[in-house]
Amino acid sequence: MPGMFIDVQVDPTVAADAALAKKLVEVCPVNIFAQEKDGRLRIVEENLDECVLCELCIQAAPAGKVEVLKLYEG
């Protein structure tokens, strides 16, 4: 089940880039990201609502390639 309050969208090119995926896994303090054995990025849906809106993932990726959406705002 996706998060009730937060959703994270990652551009497919970022998700496929093993180096960027590793960086996102490392910067997230609440483990929203994981890296598959093939290097691809996986979003850990059960952790989405743990997001603290720190924006470290947004800063770690190329501009506009990672978005954190607040589902509780219109």
SS3 content of the chain, % helix, strand, coil (to 5): 35, 20, 45
For all residues of the chain together, what is the average pLDDT? 93
Q: State the pLDDT confidence band at 37, using cuts at 50, 70 and 90.
A: very high
Rounded to two decimals, what is the model's pTM? 0.91
Q: Which CATH number does the domain housing residue 28 bear?
A: 3.30.70.20
What pLDDT was estimated at residue 53?
A: 95
pLDDT of residue 3: 74
Encode pLDDT of 40-71 as tens digits: 999 999 999 999 999 999 999 999 999 999 98
Residue 41, phi-psi category: left (phi > 0), alpha (psi -120 to 50), beta (remainder)? beta
Q: Which pLDDT does position 1 carry in this prediction?
A: 53
Instruction: Tell me, yes or no, whether 1 lies in a domain.
Output: no
Please say whether the beta carbons of 70 and 6 come within 8 A: yes
Q: Which domain holds residue 27?
A: 6-70
Count of the separate structural domains present in the chain: 1
